[in-house]
Amino acid sequence: MKIAIIGTGRMGKGLLKTFYQAYGQQVLFSGRDVAHAQTVINELDLALQAVPLEEALQADVIIPTLWFKDLLPWAEQHKEILRGKIVIDISNPFNEKFDDFTTAYDTSAAEELQKVIPDSQVVIAFKNTYWVVFDAPVLQGLKSDVYVASNTNQARETVMQLLKPLPFRVLDAGLLKNSRIIERMTLLSSELARKAGNHPRIAFNLWGLEHEGLPKEQQNEPTHLAQVH
């Protein structure tokens, strides 16, 4: 399975180095400028060659790392080539001040994306994962949580299996409508982290769930609802 990461910003870099560690040459990396994408690869010291966008979009799973305001026009432009593919949405519909949303309460970025590309399978992941968390996704022996949601069971399961080798705890978050809550939880965690002086080193970790690699006798010890990195 080929995984394409589109975009050379902070999230693109974080996802690239994380997926590369697990999948190596199965990862395709691209952006608006192939030369700049290759510069990013070289900075991360990865044995990978950047590819043109058209080639990257031939992958089975596409991860655009665009701002939400740019994501929908981009998806509309490439909707034909995205037909039948899994598109992982990591975006949050924050406004320019990062203190509110550009979407109504009865929708989410993921649901709006699915409307634009109805013949693709939109799956959410990493919406609650800030770019710095990729450098240290495990804190005090606990993995940061990643919520995966989709209206298609098969697509959701495919992405959960895809993320399994990564250093995160992957949780089934149900249907895309649950992205409304996850996006708002992400903004709330940002506000809490700023007040605590830890932004952007913040991630979710839910109580009451078993943690891989944690001894059974420690399973019921308090962890972090909003895990500070």
pLDDT 10s digits, 17-28: 999 999 999 999
Flag whether 7 is in a domain: no
Mean pLDDT of 77-92: 97
In a domain, 33, yes or no: no
Three-state DSSP state, 168 = coil
Tell me what the mean pLDDT of segment 90-94 comes to: 95
The mean pLDDT of the chain is 91
Counting the structural domains of the chain, the total is 1
The CATH number for 174's domain is 3.40.50.720
162 lies in a domain?
yes
SS3 (DSSP) at 141 = coil
pLDDT digits (tens, 9 = 90+) for 185-224: 999 998 898 898 988 888 888 888 775 544 444 344 433 3
For residue 146, give the nearest of 222, 71, 87, 130 by alpha carbon: 130
- What backbone phi and psi angles, to 5 degrees, belong to 176? -60, -30
